[in-house]
Chain A
Amino acid sequence: MRLTEKGILRNIDWWLVASYIVLVFIGLVNIYASIHSTEVSSIFDPAGRSGKQFIWMMISLASAALILFVLNPRIYESLSLPVYIGTVVLLVAVIFLGTEVKGSRSWFELGPVRFQPAEISKIATSLLLATVMSQFGFRMGRAKDFLTVAAIVIVPMLIIIAQSETGSALVYVGFIFVLYREGLSGWVIFLIGMFIALFILTLTVSPYAAILALAVVVTFCDAAYTGFMKQWLRIYLPVLAILAGIPFLMDYLCSLTGNPEAFIRRVDPVYILLGVSVLSIPFILFRAYRSRKLFTLLATGAFFIGIILSFSTEFIFEKVLQDHQRQRIEVLLGMKEDPSGVGYNVNQSMIAIGSGGLLGKGFLHGTQTTYGFVPEQSTDFIFCTIGEEWGFAGTTAVILIYVFLIGRIIISAEKSREAFTRIYGYCVASCIFMHLFINIGMTVGLMPVIGIPLPFISYGGSSLLAFTILLFIFIALKSNENHNFA
């Protein structure tokens, strides 16, 4: 029993606990607000969602107490591998044994309780990552270590994608921040961001523009990194500018000739771009090789991958993505106006939030959310209720509380003396951050509709419990450290 330890209460980070409790309480109040007109009379009525959430809140607090005061924080490191393996087994099992909910098999049903193994797997992945990366002699730069870490993250991610819960899988991308903190090159994050931009640019503008933009960014970065800015300005920039003008020039030439079979009409500007690349890249590679500029070599590699990605964009978009995912992206990028009502949710959600104004309509006075215009209003779209009833003041406050929570986790993780605690802390921060960003981004139309909950606030017992455990393991680890190093 840790309860008997001296000074245990003093070692707990009460700021974290307090922000947790505030968020859960905000959740409870807003869940009630979103259902009060249709379901129940009292916030604690166990027949309604708010009452159920209250029960889960009690269970979560009990679990938090268990983690803080009873369990020995030492066990997490030794348990991490069996827990991870068990979770992977559950994740696979649920595909075959789970109950189907909205087209994906990712839920286990045990009597009245439903839970999603994907919720636990965040905890399991974080623990195993922390264990592996805190081993003495671990180096991110070593291929074997890097591949181990990548596998730990990617295995559950792939299984979750197989459950058609792509949204939940997206959260795992956040672990890249942990890897970055532990030594992964920042260029990797930059590269991923660039490829996403490339994907969007290819879809919305044209492959030509996308590849050209890629060339600009790659050569610029290379010049900035290797210190050849002047050369870049003198040679690359004018060339790229000319290339940018080519499609317009060709349009003009096409308009001159009336012959629909004219040669000029059959030349895709992309061919010219490829021709220029084929001529210039060997030269660049040769010079880079001679002067041992590794960065230039890598940048060229990235450029190649980018070109391949740009050409396979259509394939990925049409063949790999499922219909609903494609539609959501199309709506987000404004490529299609409301194909088969997909935009409805986002539109409703933005109207609800927008109608809140500065101070909101007040508790239980929202009309958009209470009349059932916003779908999933107590789960994935709970932020709408906050936006409508508490206004800009409320939404900003909620975001700031999250920023405080995440920021404090990062800072306190950074101060840890033990690598395990530090890495685990970063994992927790990344998970909460990804959920926050994707969920709120979705409700305000910055992200496609991806159904994942807002941590601690959304209705859903197993999600609340999982996040509670995730967070309180960190608080417990930290308090144990404070105790040991006091």
Chain B
Amino acid sequence: MNIDRQNRLLIGLGTVAAVLIIRLFVIQIVDTSYKIDASNNSMVYQTIYPTRGIIHDRNGKILVGNKITYDLLVTPKEVEEFDTLALGRVLGVPPEFIRRKMDEYYRNRRRIGYQSVVMLKQLPAETYLKFAEVAYKFPGFRGQARSIREYPFNAGGNLLGYVSEVDQAYIDRHKGEYSSGDYAGKTGIEAAREKELKGEKGYAIYLRNSHNKIESRYRDGTMDKEAIPGSDITTTIDSDLQNYGQMLMQNKVGSLVAIEPSTGEILTLVSSPGIDVDVLADFGSHYNEIARDPYRPMFNRAVQAPYPPGSVFKLVNGLIGLQEGVLTPETEYPCSMGYHFGRNKLGCHAHRSPLDLEESIMMSCNAYYCYVLRSILENDRYSSIGEAMDKWNEYVRSFGFGRKLGSDFPAELGGTIPDAAYYDKVYGKGAWKATTVISLSIGQGEIGCTPLHLANLCATVANRGYYYIPHIIKDSRNVTIESKYKERQYTMVDTAYFPYVVEGMYRAVNSGYGSGGTATVAAVEGLDICGKTGTAQNPRGDDNSVFICFAPKDNPKIAVAAYIEHGSFGARWAAPIASLLVEKYLNGEISSQREYLEKRVLEGNLMDKVKPE
């Protein structure tokens, strides 16, 4: 038999058509599992929301957990006439509210169609139980369980961030991932780790008969999709220390940051005033109140506020001087109540003169660092002051200043460190010299850095020359952090120079009262705290009080930066606060000799000094 190609193709066509028709015959006639009986039943999808991942602290304590509440859903097409008054009484809302909602649904009936909409959110379990008893009287209304956030500790409000319902803009931004009614983390860790925390929605399929009553599960639930809970996350935060830090910072404006130098893990990060965790759980209803607060509690000063670092920055200039070879540990400079240049003077406080490098750190001499900065900028090695300035800028950046550190915080500020181009623009090319920018020597002027930058500086000194990028998420079973957090970041200054600076910081704290050391208030017996005070000018009023410290001197366990707006001298507020935090962390309690200090800090109120914006 000879079949030509045309006929072969026709046979092929017929075969394919036959295959399709047989397949259709199977699913439409033979296989009843695809059929929902002829009385026009249909399927109802009920979304099953996953529980959000739990956030732990570094010791396994739960910082953020979940609890169950109920949303009241309405399917307007299924609602029959009902007693508005009775429903209002059960739910604890005025009947007008229900009437208004029902009118609204009627107006939007086209858009809503057969869908369900949320009428009331986050009903407490008791209210829901009352409703469940009488639910049969209200067809079309049903409750849907949903887990919301619960905070066992009052620790880390700003850090944790809040979760709230997604709006249309958010849904559009994340195509296909969210639908209306879903919740998502909006700030802090909740936002940064949304992917891991959110989990995956599931659904249960029910059959609805022609009277819109739900009759049974579709195929006994075999086609349902279970919700997959979000992954748990472990943070580097120590919840007890965080809680203590928040207490120390209450009624003060500023930040307190503690890092473990050997890992870069952030132990504590307080921005004050901050947000109480009670507010976080129900962020939506407090939103206006928070937005109106003049102290801007949502603003995370610790990573977002640019401050001048003040005298703390002398450490950086001293180290650069050593590396550049324009300064040796033995170099002495005189100070006569300040540094005089031309008819101008940069003032200093009373202390003996002249001083060497260690003493200059211990007593925080301003004049000393004016000499240091001048010798850095007027170095013959460079063809111009501009070149020397850019070199200085490069050094400072290697400490992490003037750029984002690359932490896992969602909104980290880079800050500013000036370079030659900047001053050329301000003063004109060649129209500025070392004395023009002399305030850089003591961490004033055009420098902006965050408290996180300062804590990182402290950790760098504690490690004698390198740091790990600060971060708040720890490796855990579910989450692996990027490898960059495990790599040492060296500065451009040789590690051999750091011990001199450390010694100066040690003497600043431990030389005893009357020695001239600026931070003797921070001394704790047996802890070998090393610290550096700073007093940064604040054009809005009293100076800012700054202090960085780490302890113990050898194998440091904690590095802290405290920045208190309008706290005046560094030793006045910042040093006590930072040293108390260190003491609490290393000793677990405050020694009796220092209880007076703790009392003073806890009761201290600087809010009057702050002029809100």
Contacts and interface: CB of A to CB of B under 8 A. Distances in A.
Contact of A358 (B8, B28, B36): B28
B29 A357 contact: yes
Interface string B17-29: 1011101110111
A385 B8 CA distance: 33
B29 A358 contact: yes
A45 B33 CA distance: 37
A353 B13 contact: no
Interface stretch (B38-46, B236-244, B355-363, B393-401): B38-46
A217 B27 CA distance: 32
A437 B16 contact: yes
B9 A177 contact: yes
A38 B25 contact: no
B43 A357 contact: no
A410 B28 contact: no
B430 interface: no
B13 A356 contact: no
Majority DSSP secondary structure for residues of A touching B: helix
Interface residues of B, number: 36
A396 interface: yes
A355 B34 contact: yes
B421 interface: no
Interface stretch (A67-75, A400-408, A466-474): A400-408
A451 interface: no
B6 A181 contact: yes
Centre residue among B19, B23, B113 by max chain A CB count within 10 A: B23
Nearest to B41: A367
Nearest to B113: A38
A444 interface: yes
A446 B28 CA distance: 15
A136 to B, nearest CB: 21
Contacts of B36: 351, 355
Interface of B: 5-6, 8-10, 12-14, 16-17, 19-21, 23-25, 27-29, 31, 33-36, 38, 40-43, 45, 110, 113-114, 200, 223, 225
A371 interface: yes
Of the candidates B17, B21, B27, B28, the one having the most CB atoms from chain A within 10 angstroms of its own CB is B28
B11 to A, nearest CB: 11
B24 A353 contact: yes
Contact of A355 (B23, B24, B35): B35
14 contacts: A180-B5, A353-B34, A354-B33, A354-B34, A361-B40, A371-B114, A373-B43, A403-B17, A410-B6, A410-B10, A437-B16, A437-B20, A444-B20, A444-B23
A440 interface: yes
Contacts of B41: 367
Given A355-B34, A367-B42, A437-B16, 19 more contacts: A37-B114, A177-B12, A181-B6, A338-B225, A353-B24, A354-B33, A354-B35, A357-B28, A357-B29, A372-B113, A373-B45, A392-B24, A399-B17, A399-B21, A406-B13, A407-B13, A433-B16, A440-B20, A444-B20
A444 B114 CA distance: 26
Interface string A157-191: 00000000000000000000100110000100000
Given A38-B113, A391-B28, A410 B9 contact: yes
Interface string A333-362: 000001011000001001101111110010
Top 3 closest pairs, chain A to chain B, by CB: A354-B34, A367-B42, A392-B28
A441 B23 CA distance: 9
Given A347-B223, A403-B14, A407-B13, A354 B28 contact: yes
Contacts of A414: 6
Interface in A430-486: 433, 437, 440-441, 444-446
A395 B27 CA distance: 12
Contacts of B40: 361, 365, 367
Given A365-B40, A367-B42, A395 B113 contact: no
Interface in A262-286: none
Contacts of A372: 113-114
B179 to A, nearest CB: 13
Contacts of B14: 403
Contacts of B110: 38
A19 B14 CA distance: 18
A372 B112 CA distance: 12
A387 interface: yes
Interface of A: 37-38, 177, 180-181, 186, 338, 340-341, 347, 350-351, 353-358, 361, 365, 367-368, 371-373, 387, 391-392, 395-396, 399-400, 402-403, 406-407, 410-411, 414, 433, 437, 440-441, 444-446
Given A368-B43, A373-B43, A399-B17, A353 B6 contact: no
Contacts of A399: 17, 20-21, 24
Contacts of A354: 27-28, 31, 33-35
Contacts of A400: 17
A180 B13 CA distance: 14
B35 A357 contact: yes
B24 A387 contact: yes
A347 B205 CA distance: 13
A87 B110 CA distance: 42
A35 to B, nearest CB: 11
Contacts of A177: 9, 12
Contacts of B35: 354-355, 357
Contacts of B223: 347
A37 B28 contact: no
Contact of A407 (B10, B24, B114): B10
Given A38-B113, A367-B42, A399-B20, A392 B10 contact: no
A395 to B, nearest CB: 5
Contacts of A387: 24, 28
A353 B24 CA distance: 8
A354 B225 CA distance: 21
A108 to B, nearest CB: 22
Nearest to B43: A373
B5 A403 contact: no
Contacts of A391: 28
A411 B14 CA distance: 14
Contacts of A186: 5, 8
A56 B109 CA distance: 30
B13 A410 contact: yes
A361 B36 CA distance: 11
Contacts of B24: 353, 387, 392, 395-396, 399, 444
Nearest to A400: B17
A342 B23 CA distance: 21
A51 to B, nearest CB: 16
Contacts of A180: 5, 9
A444 B24 CA distance: 7
A446 B26 CA distance: 12
Contacts of A440: 20
Given A353-B34, A395-B24, A410-B9, A37 B19 contact: no
A433 B10 CA distance: 11
Contacts of A347: 223
A9 B200 CA distance: 62
Contacts of A341: 225
A392 B25 contact: yes
Contact of B13 (A365, A433, A441, A444): A433
A399 B28 CA distance: 15
A285 B403 CA distance: 69
B216 to A, nearest CB: 15
Nearest to A40: B110
A81 B400 CA distance: 62
B110 to A, nearest CB: 7
Which of A341, A355, A356 has the largest number of chain B CB atoms within 10 A?
Answer: A355
Which of A340, A350, A351 neighbours the largest number of chain B CB atoms within 10 Å of its CB? A351
A322 to B, nearest CB: 15
B45 A350 contact: no
B229 to A, nearest CB: 16
B332 to A, nearest CB: 67
